[in-house]
């Protein structure tokens, strides 16, 4: 990395420059856009981490292609209406991270499918379990179906470990938001990372059990 580039980028990072346009800011913005900024940070800390030309070209090609494809599909595919809220960036899925044990794989598959299920709320369907008409089968099963009442009671008991305040807040969400929260939508109340993983594991299991009632 040239001394000029090094000096300029340090000035930019420390906000010690009035230059907002030009080669260096452009490079920084592009790296940010494709989640590559950590490479610059690493090199500033340890210059030996500078990737070879071959590695860098391959990384950029892959990431730029993946990011553009990701954005295009998120914007155009109606199946990703839920998914783009639940998974806003290219990163390992929380469903996979939460259900990493083999014993959890059965409901991991079911929950992952729900994330990519299109939301067609314009048509009513009849629940075969309780004969109630619903616009969203999953929300109905999770929140109101008579066939899942016992599962709901068990679920509320299972999440009691997260505190009465958490439970009362989560139960105040409307049905659609409540269902999204159980699938890890970034809605308050929030838990810390470890607690959230435990909460999601219980929630995914509950959703999986509800789906078995169909």
Q: Shortest distance, CB of residue 117 to Zn ion, whole angstroms?
A: 17
Beta strands at 133-134 and 125-126: parallel, antiparallel or unpaired: antiparallel
Cα 120 to its chain centre, rounded Å, is 21
Q: Shortest distance, CB of residue 152 to Zn ion, whole angstroms?
A: 12
Selected range binding Zn ion among 4-12, 24-32, 127-135, 168-176, rule: CB under 5 A:
127-135
Backbone angles phi, psi at 134, to 5 degrees: -140, 150
Selected range binding Zn ion among 18-26, 31-39, 111-119, 125-133, rule: CB under 5 A:
125-133
Q: Across the strands, what pairs with 126? A: 133
Using CB under 5 A as the binding rule, whether residue 145 contacts Zn ion is answered as: yes
Polymer length of the chain: 214
**Member of 86, 108, 111, 127 binding Zn ion (CB under 5 A):** 127
Site string for Zn ion, 69-108 (x = CB under 5 A): ----------------------------------------
Q: Can you tell me which residue has the tokens 């078995």?
A: 212
Using CB under 5 A as the binding rule, whether residue 11 contacts Zn ion is answered as: no
Cα(100)–Cα(84) distance, rounded to whole angstroms?
A: 22
**Member of 11, 17, 59, 129 binding Zn ion (CB under 5 A):** 129
Q: Cβ closer to Zn ion: 110 or 136?
A: 136
Coil, strand or helix at 123: coil
**Member of 130, 158, 167, 177 binding Zn ion (CB under 5 A):** 130
* CA distances from residue 109 to 74, 103, 133, 148, 194 in whole angstroms, order as listed: 20, 12, 27, 20, 22
Give the count of alpha carbons within 13 A of 189, CB side only.
14
The site for Zn ion (CB under 5 A) is made up of 127, 129-130, 145
């Amino acid at each position: 990395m040239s001394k000029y580039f090094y000096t300029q980028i340090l000035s930019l990072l420390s906000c010690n420059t009035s230059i907002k346009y030009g080669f260096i800011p452009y490079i920084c913005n592009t790296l940010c856009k494709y989640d590559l900024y950590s490479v610059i940070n690493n090199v500033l800390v340890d210059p030996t981490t500078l990737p070879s030309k071959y590695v860098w070209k391959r990384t950029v090609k892959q990431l730029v292609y993946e990011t553009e494809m990701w954005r295009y599909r998120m914007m155009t595919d109606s199946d990703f209406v839920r998914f783009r809220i639940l998974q806003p960036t290219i990163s390992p899925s929380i469903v996979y991270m939460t259900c990493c044990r083999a014993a959890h794989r059965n409901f991991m598959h079911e929950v992952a499918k729900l994330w990519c299920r299109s939301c067609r709320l314009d048509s009513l369907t009849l629940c075969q379990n309780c004969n109630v008409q619903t616009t969203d089968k999953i929300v109905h099963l999770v929140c109101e179906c008579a066939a899942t009442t016992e599962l709901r009671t068990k679920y509320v008991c299972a999440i009691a470990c997260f505190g009465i305040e958490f439970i009362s807040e989560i139960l105040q969400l409307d049905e659609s938001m409540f269902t999204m929260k159980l699938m890890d939508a970034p809605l308050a109340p929030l838990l810390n990372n470890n607690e959230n993983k435990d909460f999601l594991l219980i929630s995914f299991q509950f959703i999986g059990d509800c789906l078995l009632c169909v």
